Structure 1
């Protein structure tokens, strides 16, 4: 990459992230990164296409402006285009912003050009089953889930009349309704699980595969540090009934999940999960497909700056 290309910057902005402050963010980019291009996502998945285009157009730094989902889309596009050597910046402007937790985001966007802030970041990869039965593939920077949390996410994304009305009225209300509907019918599920090739049969409430220790806006399962380089945190929540789930969720929200007997955490390189009936697979906030699914660490890293 030529020196002039290394200095070229493009910002990929999701105007629907967080509290819909897209216009304010674009004004800030114009003031603090005046030489940067600004591209705006228009639909779900558009960040993947724009990330790919940025690499193909020779940009040296691509800045994702939005939530963890926006960051994930841009990273997927960059990696699909062979952009491992391109810097990936992140301006956390979403609802959760879990990737940036534990790091100090720049106060001035010009700080994203400071190469002393660069970090080498592992990228997770997941292979899953699409609705048509073919196999799909995604990279992830935060984590993925299979079980209760992914089923709640699937309910939330369903395009039903009730969901549409609730989302227009109040987004948190729609999220709460999806959670309550799921919990009312929830039963622990039997899965076939392989951690680093060791097979087992388990009854689970949820399985999380994490690259960072945070999820859902700063919640943790009791360990506030990420897995070692080249590893994933596999967090298995053993099968518990509805009352047990509510109690566990209460402890998680209070930051008191450490030591809970239903939580089993193991640092691994690979995870495979399957079930008799397909379970939805959620990755970086998006339902991408269903089980069977395999998680691992991508052999190369991205250079990230926050």
Structure 2
């Protein structure tokens, strides 16, 4: 399958550049590509490749690079939109973890030579598309701080350092939440809205989110004390934090989160300022180059959830 590669050479503290050079060595010839030189440029490069008629545009980098490439491709109407792929070599690599995209380059090349495409849902927040998770509150403030830490600190460890630092200063905030027309106010640690389960280098924050059901998984983590946060945090890795009585999970097509506090929001690890955060689901928005097993996966759970939007998947307390 003919592909154009958008390469972020500084992703993963230079791992992306090394992976890109190795990939071309394995192919034995130069591949059509452009290298980014500034944040945000992957959007333009992906859009340019689409206008040139490439049927597949591949992000070489981490989740931030993938996010930018998708936002470039989504500027085109569906009938002109190329498929999307990723060579995952960033810091957190959550999109590859979520979708089964192989990290080994030799295996990834087989994927390119024997391509399988599957439709992929996307989320959108304030006009920006996201692949994994958007969060407001504690996780976004952690991501904001983590972005200021040295880039040589690995993804999950970076997140843990930022978590420990924020635990000393962060205060739960009163948030106004609307999920498919149902509204309430609650003091929250965070609100996470997931198209896929993992973020921050492996945290299973939205454990039952799937990008093939047309819905977003909304995880509302209520007014946890610091000691409760410390007890719940290890449970985020296996995804069992959603069993805590102060956590509720809802499936939704549209979500809005607002607060009077000066909070950030993050989408795929990219931090933005300014609430409210208005989110909506975009079913089957783009075709993904994926392993055959993922491309052929059945959707029995998705069909059930599409029939039951905005119902709690796990409600810590009734409202």
Q: 1:27 to 1:177 in 2, by over 3 A?
A: closer
Structure-1 residue corresponding to 2:84: 88
Show the counterpart of 2:313. Answer: none
CA contact (8 A) 1:156 1:175 kept: yes
Alignment partner, residue 215 of structure 1: 199
Which SS does the other structure have where 1:18 is aligned?
helix
Q: Tell me by how many angstroms 1:142 deviates.
A: 0.8
Structure 2: tracts of 5 or more residues without a match: 291-319
Aligned to 1:95, what secondary structure does the other structure show? coil
Structure-2 residue corresponding to 1:67: 62
Whole-angstrom CA distance in 2 between matches of 1:169 and 1:215? 18
- Counterpart residue number, 2:259: 275
Find the aligned partners of 1:174 and 1:68 in 2 and give their Cα distance.
Answer: 15
CA drift at 1:109: 1.6
Deviation at 1:181, TM superposition (A): 3.2
* 2:260 matches 1:264: no
SS at match of 1:101: helix
Q: Which runs of 5+ in 1 are unaligned?
A: 1-6, 128-136, 158-162
Separation (CA, whole Å) in 1 of partners of 2:159 and 2:187:
26
- Please report how far the alpha carbon of residue 170 of structure 1 lies from its aligned counterpart in structure 2 after TM superposition: 4.5
- 128, 143, 162: which is aligned to 1:138? 128
- Distance in 2 (CA, whole Å) between partners of 1:112 and 1:17 is 22
Q: 1:51 to 1:156 in 2, by over 3 A?
A: same
| Residue equivalent to 1:234 | 218
Q: State the secondary structure of the residue aligned to 1:63.
A: strand
Residues 1:250 and 2:212 are matched in the alignment: no
1:23-55 Cα distance to aligned partner (Å, 9 max, x none): 432223324454631221112111111111111
Alignment match, 1:112:
112
Match of 2:50 in 1: 55
Q: Which residue, out of 7, 10, 17, partners 2:4?
A: 10
What is the alpha-carbon distance in structure 1 between the residues aligned to residue 70 and residue 225 of structure 2? Answer: 37
Q: 1:64 Cα deviation (Å)?
A: 0.8
Change (3 A) 1:255 1:210: closer
Is 1:37 the equivalent of 2:32? yes
Deviations 1:253-281 (A, max 9, x none): 46542422222111111101111223211
Relative to 1, partners in 2 of residues 1:254 and 1:242: Cα closer, same or farther, differing over 3 Å? same
Structure 1 range deviating more: 64-73 or 173-182: 173-182
CA distance in 1, matches of 2:129, 2:151: 31
Q: CA RMSD in A?
A: 2.4
1:302 to 286, 301, 305: 286
Matches of 1:104 and 1:182 in 2, distance apart?
31
Q: Is residue 149 of structure 1 aligned with residue 143 of structure 2?
A: no
TM-score norm. by structure 1 comes to: 0.83
Q: Which residue of 1 aligns with 2:120?
A: 121
Instruction: Indicate conservation of the 8 Å contact 2:208/2:217, yes or no.
Output: no
CA distance in 1, matches of 2:173, 2:100: 39
Q: Number of paired residues?
A: 283
Cα separation, 2, equivalents of 1:169 and 1:223: 28
Query: For 2:3 and 2:132, how far apart are their aligned partners in 1?
Result: 24
Contact 1:196 1:271 in 2 (8 A): yes
Seen in structure 2, the aligned counterparts of structure 1 residues 298 and 81 have a Cα distance that, compared at 3 Å, is same
